[in-house]
Homo-oligomer: A and B are copies of this chain.
Amino acid sequence: MFSTSKVLKDLQKLSSTPVDLPSAMSKERIEKMQSLNAGWKLSYATERVDEEVIQTLFQLAHDRNALDLMQQMQLGKCLNQIEGFTSEKKSVLHTATRDFFKDQLSSKEADSARRGAYEEVEKLERFVQLMEEREWSDIIQIGIGGSSLGPKAIYQSLRAHQKKPVRVHFLSNIDPDSASKILQEVHLETTLVISVSKSGTTLETCQNEERIRNAFASERIDPQGHFLAVTAKGSPMDNPAHYLAIFYIWDFIGGRFSATSMVGGVVLSLALGFDMYWKLLEGAQAMDRVARSSVNPKNLPLMGALLGIWNRNFLHHASLALIPYAEGLAGFPAHVQQLDMESNGKQIDRQGNFLDFPAGEILFGDVGTDCQHSFFQFLHQGCDIVPIAFIGVVKDQYGKDLELEGTSFQEKLLANLFAQMIALAQGQKSENPNQLFLGNRPSHLLLTEVLDPYRVGALLAYFEHKIAFQGFIWGVNSFDQEGVQLGKKLSNQMMDGFRCKKSMQSFSSPIIEACLDLTEDFL
């Protein structure tokens, strides 16, 4: 078990006297504690670590076979399972959806997955060319969770490069107002709908697709020629009579890890161009190679994972704020929140034993500088210490920056970013307790030159692998989500309850009856 190893005792000992950042911060520290790979620079001088801590964390990674497991994952070994219990039992091969570039991995599973994925990519490229002739005003991607958050985050991050005037809408929620609002905005005649569900049975997605089809019908527009599907072969949605084209995904690609598959590929290629999608894949694959390369600071996702474990399990900080100082990355906190909390929000290890240490973390965030004027009070002086993952970009995306009072907006943005890191780390002495900042609030920074598809792809894969590494080291299965099943089961019972209520039948459960009664008597 994690908690009885020698390296763990070493880390616990080190954590009793962590680096004091107010005294340790220096130019040399910042210059030394940084690492560059795949277009991204990781600066970790403002984390409470020193060389000894880093080396001991590397030892932990070795002891827990982190790099082996990463390689096994990318080779297609069966890692999504709980040994000895009924569970998922499959490989985890989202990396195969982009392993089309340098240093391809080879195994029976990975080769087969790559071939299948590449067929879809080629099919998509041809399809995008065909669609060039049509003028779409709107694209609606219907999908929820992983079929929404990743593609949306990537789309937003690259929208500045969009040449066509097409508007992209993401429809996920079962809330009827979600579709109502979108239907108010689109021109159905020139709207393309992409329905995304691996199983082809996701409640929200199927219902919303039906609703949009109804809207086409009520405007007397033939839906033929307007609907695409992204689903698994053989699913209820795999029906060519219903769709202009069907693109496939596979069981070995988890929803939250599916952004580079057809789940993201179709919408991104249609809105931004196939070349942008291809560059995204290249960047993601570059970070895949980084992740399986070595145990040292050049392995950025492993570094991110280990710094997180240090903060979580040794300095006992239970959450992480993800703060991109880039409007284009506004969708990343929600996507990475899902990646992190759904993957590692687990209570048992891969053998079914209850964990005797905390895994996972609460991840939340928003863009800077906005949140400096919102929850940063808590980050500077709150009772709990919240480690922060900052993201920065050197250049703006639209190329329309303006210099006022001697600095550009982009420089002001970066100035604010660096200022927060230093303020949190160094703090400030004061006789006035309200103006006292204790410092030692850890953070790190991922910095890149510009948000282009390659770098966005690399960033996406950075988070996927950071989170997978943490799961490997904690020993949890990061790839299932059994915790969402009970809610699904009960929600079916509640829906039955609504049907009973309308038909004046008696309820199966008094608790369900009491819940539905809450919706009455507001006077």
Q: Interface segment, A48-56, A300-308, A365-373?
A: A365-373
Instruction: Tell me if A259 counts as interface (CB < 8 A to partner B).
Output: no
**Chain A to chain B contacts (Cβ below 8 Å), 14 pairs:** A30-B517, A176-B398, A318-B319, A318-B384, A337-B364, A345-B381, A358-B384, A359-B383, A360-B378, A376-B487, A377-B481, A406-B498, A416-B494, A449-B522
Chain B nearest Cβ from A296, distance in angstroms: 19
A253 within 8 A of B: no
Q: Please judge, given known A-B contacts A360-B378, A367-B175, whether A494 and B341 are in contact too, CB under 8 Å.
A: no
- Interchain CB contact (< 8 A) of A178 among B173, B327, B337, B517: B327
Cβ B486 vs Cβ A144 within 8 A: no
Q: How large is the interface on A (under 10, 10 to 19, 20 to 34, 35 or more residues)?
A: 35 or more
A235 interface residue per 8 A CB criterion: no
Chain B CB within 8 A of A216 CB: no
Which 3 A-B residue pairings sit nearest by Cβ, starting from the closest? Answer: A345-B378, A145-B373, A415-B494
Q: Is A460 an interface residue (CB 8 A)?
A: no
Residue of B with least CB distance to A517: B31
The answer for the CA separation of A387 and B86 in the assembled complex, in Å, is 30
In the assembled complex, A334 has its CB within 8 A of some CB on chain B: yes
Are B494 and A25 within 8 A (Cβ)? Answer: no
Contact with B along A336-353 (1 / 0, CB 8 A): 011001100111100011
Expressed in whole angstroms, the minimum distance between the Cβ of A219 and any Cβ of chain B is: 13
Closest Cβ of chain B to A329, distance in Å, is: 10
Q: State in angstroms the CA–CA spacing of A508 and B325 once bound together.
A: 25
Residues on B with C-beta less than 8 A from A279 are none
A494/B418 contact (C-beta < 8 A), A175-B367, A396-B175, A401-B176 known: yes
| A164 interfacial by beta-carbon distance below 8 Å | no
4 new A-B pairs (CB below 8 Å) besides A255-B373, A342-B376?
A177-B328, A359-B383, A364-B364, A380-B487
CA distance A492 to B36 in the complex (A): 28
A494 partner residues in chain B, CB cutoff 8 A = 414-416, 418-419
Minimal beta-carbon separation of A172 from chain B (angstroms) = 5
Nearest-Cβ distance from residue A156 to partner chain B, whole angstroms: 10
- Partner-binding segment picked from A132-140, A206-214, A220-228: A206-214
Contact B355 A383 (CB under 8 A): yes
Contact B377 A515 (CB under 8 A): no
Q: Which single member of B144, B160, B184, B384 contacts A362 (CB below 8 Å)?
A: B384
Q: How close is A397's CB to chain B, nearest CB, in angstroms?
A: 5
Interface check A510, CB cutoff 8 A: yes
- Known contacts A176-B402, A327-B181, A445-B518: A376-B27 contact under CB 8 Å: no
Residues of chain B within 8 A of A434, CB atoms compared = 82, 85, 87, 348, 352, 480, 482
Asked if A432 is an interface residue, CB under 8 A from chain B, the answer is yes
Min CB distance A504 to B, Å, is 14
B residues in contact with A131, CB < 8 Å: none
Task: Given A31-B514, A87-B434, A407-B499, check contact A144 B381 (CB 8 Å).
Answer: no
Decide yes or no: A43 and B396 within 8 Å by CB, A362-B362, A433-B352 being known contacts.
Answer: no
Knowing A175-B413, A449-B522 are in contact, say whether A378-B396 is a contact too (CB < 8 A).
no
CB distance from A334 to the nearest CB of B (A): 7
Roughly how many angstroms separate A402 CA and B447 CA in the complex, as a whole number?
A: 47
Contacting residues, chain B, for A342 (C-beta < 8 A): 374-378
Interface presence of A400 (CB below 8 A): yes
Cβ-based interface call for A244 (8 A)? no
Q: In the complex, what distance in Å separates the CA atom of A514 from the CA atom of B418?
A: 10
CA distance A348 to B487 in the complex (A): 40
The reply to whether the CB of A34 lies closer than 8 angstroms to some CB of chain B is yes
Question: A435 — which chain B residues lie within 8 A by C-beta?
Answer: 86, 482, 485
Bound-state Cα–Cα, A342 to B366, Å: 15
**Is A511 close to B, CB under 8 A?**
yes
- In the assembled complex, the Cα of A435 lies from the Cα of B481 at a distance in Å of 10
Q: Which of A108-116, A187-195, A266-274, A420-428 contacts B (4 or more CB under 8 A)?
A: A420-428
A453 at the interface (CB under 8 A from B): no
**CB proximity to B under 8 Å, residues A26-62:** 26-28, 30-31, 34, 36, 39, 41, 43
Are A408 and B518 in contact, with the CB atoms below 8 A? no
Closest B residue to A343 by CB, please name it. Answer: B377
Minimum Cβ distance to chain B for residue A92 (Å): 16
Let me know if B370 and A412 touch, CB within 8 A. no
Residues of chain B with a CB closer than 8 A to A28's CB:
514
Please determine whether B381 and A358 come into contact, CB atoms closer than 8 angstroms: no
